[in-house]
Chains A and B, each alone.
Chain A
Amino acid sequence: MTDDSLAIHRLLDEAYAGIEMTPEARDLKEEMRANLVARMAELGGSGVSGAESARRAMAELGDIRAIVTETAATSTAAPWLDQRVRPRPAYVIRTLLLSLPAAAALAVLVWSVLDTAVHGWQPLAAAVLALTGGVIVADALRQETTSSYPLPTTRALGYGAAATLGLAGAGCVAAARPEWPVGLLVAAGVLLVASAVAFTYLGVTQTNRHKPWMVRLQREHQEMADVFAGDPAAAARFGIYTAAIWLAALAGFAVLTFTVGWAWSWLALLGGLLAMLVIMARTMFRPRGSEPHRAA
């Protein structure tokens, strides 16, 4: 990156100084950045110097704060809608075409297990299934999605190879039926173990693939689930409420059973369950910003 192209990033950062970085503002900033770079390139093409073109492109934009305020008023609600990536029809068609031989191979393999007449096709079917399966996996992992970055080519190929080994192993198991010859079983075992080892290796060395907004969403989810760990008082309160509710429900059940009879006494238990669920929902999904230790 040259000094000139850095200038526009610096100017943009300066313009955004003091503006609260909501997801909408961040989204707008990134959109502006690419547009400014394009405008700068146009100005540069007409002979304007780098620093001057950065300054002019920025000046043409006008008051950033006003734009941020205006766009915030009409922002889209769902965070993932702002994060979508370009659809790739070629990928969809490729996967569909590859899945056709894969599905055919799988059908032949299943058929050969049920009927010995097509036994001769087993090696071919297993090979086709393993190869197409591997290619589909590797290709899918190479794609960028709304919530994940694409995997590096070597890692994607690694996953594809692991999938191929696993499918080949499964094919060997299918082919070994019903006589279970030792040679095939050993081959299947080796392939399946190799596949498991490869998947494990790839899994434990995998770094974060999710995009920042996805990680944030996941963290928020986790925080919600961990409300009891973060707030022991809430956990204790919930425990006491639950005990009280079930004591009352059981007492009600006993009383109703002896007075009204079985036909209606179960309603006491149902009522207890409903009350517990309501209390649980209220404890776990407390409105944002409310105090965790509110005096009861």
Chain B
Amino acid sequence: MPDIPDSDTFLASDAFAADLLRGHTDTIVLAVLSQGESYGFEIFKTIRDATGGAYEIKEATLYASYRRLLKDGLVEAYWGDETQGGRRKYYRITDAGRAVYHDNVNAWEITRGLIDTLLELGKPARTGIPRPGRRP
């Protein structure tokens, strides 16, 4: 696992992986929220800690994701009752959100299988498994 020089770095600056991950931000947030309600920093921390710090979604991306999910009715938001240091905005997954999450997970599993199969075409009879190249 590479060291992380700063928070903007994902997976050793691998733009390919970062792009792939960014496309699934909403589903990742839904995955975190399906474990229970949470607020912005906690969601950010859960994602960071789950990957052992290897992957951080930028907070700006998360703020946009929350609003998208709210607009689509996949999560609902409410203000907590903290009195110190500002109120936290909590997000909770809705039933619609859960359904979309499961659909997305299924779709991802099918896609992953397909991509694995297709990318295998480019590496005849090699046993070592390097990371998928940019030009398969």
A179 located at the interface, meaning its Cβ lies under 8 Å from any Cβ of chain B in the complex:
no
**Please, how many angstroms separate the alpha-carbon atoms of A31 and B90 in the complex?**
9
Q: Are B71 and A34 closer than 8 Å at their CB atoms?
A: no
Given A61-B59, A70-B64, the answer on whether A83 and B86 have CB atoms closer than 8 Å is no
Task: Return the contact of A75 from the options B40, B67, B82 (Cβ within 8 A).
Answer: B67
Instruction: Give the bracket for the number of chain A residues in contact with chain B.
Output: 20 to 34
Within the complex, the shortest CB–CB distance from A156 to chain B, in Å, comes to: 16
A182 located at the interface, meaning its Cβ lies under 8 Å from any Cβ of chain B in the complex:
no
Within the complex, the shortest CB–CB distance from B61 to chain A, in Å, comes to: 9
B77 located at the interface, meaning its Cβ lies under 8 Å from any Cβ of chain A in the complex:
yes
Q: Are B86 and A84 closer than 8 Å at their CB atoms?
A: no
| Total A-B Cβ pairs within 8 A | 87
Q: Are B71 and A74 closer than 8 Å at their CB atoms?
A: yes
Q: Are A84 and B77 closer than 8 Å at their CB atoms?
A: yes
A38 located at the interface, meaning its Cβ lies under 8 Å from any Cβ of chain B in the complex:
yes
Given the complex, which residues of A lie within 8 Å of B58, measured CB to CB?
A: 62
A66 located at the interface, meaning its Cβ lies under 8 Å from any Cβ of chain B in the complex:
yes
Given the complex, which residues of A lie within 8 Å of B60, measured CB to CB?
A: 61-63, 66-67, 70
A37 located at the interface, meaning its Cβ lies under 8 Å from any Cβ of chain B in the complex:
yes
Which A31-49 residues have a C-beta within 8 angstroms of B? 31-39, 42
**Please, how many angstroms separate the alpha-carbon atoms of A132 and B68 in the complex?**
44
Please classify the interface of chain A as helix (H, G, I), strand (E, B), loop, or mixed, using the class held by over half of its residues.
Answer: helix
Q: Are A86 and B63 closer than 8 Å at their CB atoms?
A: no
Given A37-B86, A62-B60, A76-B70, the answer on whether A144 and B78 have CB atoms closer than 8 Å is no
Q: Please, which residue of chain A has its CB at the minimum distance from the CB of B40?
A: A35
**Please, how many angstroms separate the alpha-carbon atoms of A213 and B46 in the complex?**
32
Which A72-105 residues have a C-beta within 8 angstroms of B? 74-77, 81-87
Q: Are A71 and B67 closer than 8 Å at their CB atoms?
A: yes
B7 located at the interface, meaning its Cβ lies under 8 Å from any Cβ of chain A in the complex:
yes
Q: Are B79 and A85 closer than 8 Å at their CB atoms?
A: yes
- Report A150-162 CB contacts with B as 1/0, cut-off 8 Å: 0000000000000
Q: Are A31 and B89 closer than 8 Å at their CB atoms?
A: yes
Given the complex, which residues of B lie within 8 Å of A61, measured CB to CB?
A: 59-60
**Please, how many angstroms separate the alpha-carbon atoms of A76 and B89 in the complex?**
14
B87 located at the interface, meaning its Cβ lies under 8 Å from any Cβ of chain A in the complex:
yes
Given A34-B40, A34-B88, the answer on whether A86 and B79 have CB atoms closer than 8 Å is yes
Q: Are B71 and A76 closer than 8 Å at their CB atoms?
A: yes
Given A76-B70, A84-B79, A85-B79, the answer on whether A31 and B59 have CB atoms closer than 8 Å is no
Given A31-B89, A34-B87, the answer on whether A42 and B45 have CB atoms closer than 8 Å is yes
Interchain Cβ contacts under 8 Å between A and B, 14 examples: A32-B40, A33-B86, A34-B85, A34-B88, A35-B41, A35-B88, A37-B86, A66-B60, A71-B67, A75-B67, A76-B67, A81-B77, A85-B79, A144-B81
